[in-house]
Structure 1
Amino acid sequence: MKNFIKNRKGFTLVELVVVIAILGILAGIAIPRFMSATETARGAKTVADLRTLESAAVMYYAKTGVVPTKDNLENGNATLGTTALVASWPVPASGKAIIKNNANKELTWDIKTTEYTIDADGRPTINEKTIDDLLQATTGGDL
């Protein structure tokens, strides 16, 4: 009988419960952090798209002296020849987006629009908000 007890291998039930509890605590901490990663990426994409379009609009205006439109930036025109300043027009990713404003505060926006536009001043916008409007905002909302 004594020999039988010495050869037993494995974990006790208490050890298994402790390991499962530790894994549950770690998952409870990690999962919420990963859930907001998609929203943060969506916000970063929106800001990057607007900055890219803003740069293209400034370059277009500097070269031509004409306020740009979406067609001018995307497809080129007679003044610029066949060279477009934007290879393809970006499409906003719909859903919740987290954007850090200039005060480094995270604001949640709900992106519902399906395209970026150019306003009358030649500035790219998303739901009539320019990059400056988004980065200076104090509250989130719908886009």
Structure 2
Amino acid sequence: MFKKTQIKKGFTLIEILIVVAIIGILAAIAIPQYAKYKKTSLQTVIEAQLTECANILGARYAENGTKNYNCQVFNNTVSLVLDDTSGQITVAGRGQIIYRENVFNCSITTVNHSSKTVCTPQ
């Protein structure tokens, strides 16, 4: 009397392959962008820490005439030197900061008593 109909459950192979291909394409786009954002944010953090170190050196110079300051940026000891005639703060040595696999070359420039910290990835 009643005919039983078979209901298909599940996905076909082609549907699964299409989903896997779409996920692969999205991953190929997203992973490099994520790495780029990660490096840019790390660069910003390093620049902020160096700027804070330069501010500390400026405050110490105003208090007691200190011209050198060693600060920690992640696991790197960075030496800052203040030239009291020009007011220029420089990063001693190569100005290289290494964090995990990332290497940044950093410098501090002073123009009109205003310091700007710039780090460029290597």
TM-score (norm 2): 0.62
Find the counterpart in structure 1 of residue 91 from structure 2. 125
4+ residue runs over 3 A deviation? none
Q: Which has the higher helix share?
A: 1
Name the CA shift for 1:134/1:67 in 2 (closer, same or farther; >3 Å). Answer: same
Percent sequence identity over aligned pairs: 26
TM-score (norm 1): 0.54
Relative CO higher for 1 or 2, CA cutoff 8 Å, sep ≥ 6?
1
Aligned equivalents of 2:15, 2:56: Cα separation in 1: 61
From 52, 77, 80, give the equivalent of 1:115: 77
Structure 1 unaligned spans of 5+: 72-88, 94-113
- Equivalent pairs counted in the alignment come to 99
Name the CA shift for 1:121/1:130 in 2 (closer, same or farther; >3 Å). Answer: farther
Structure 2 unaligned spans of 5+: 96-105, 110-115
- Retained in 2: the 8 A contact 1:117–1:125? yes
CA RMSD between the two structures:
3.0
Name the CA shift for 1:43/1:92 in 2 (closer, same or farther; >3 Å). Answer: same
Deviation at 1:29, TM superposition (A): 0.8
Q: Which has the higher strand share?
A: 2
Matched, 1:18 2:18: yes
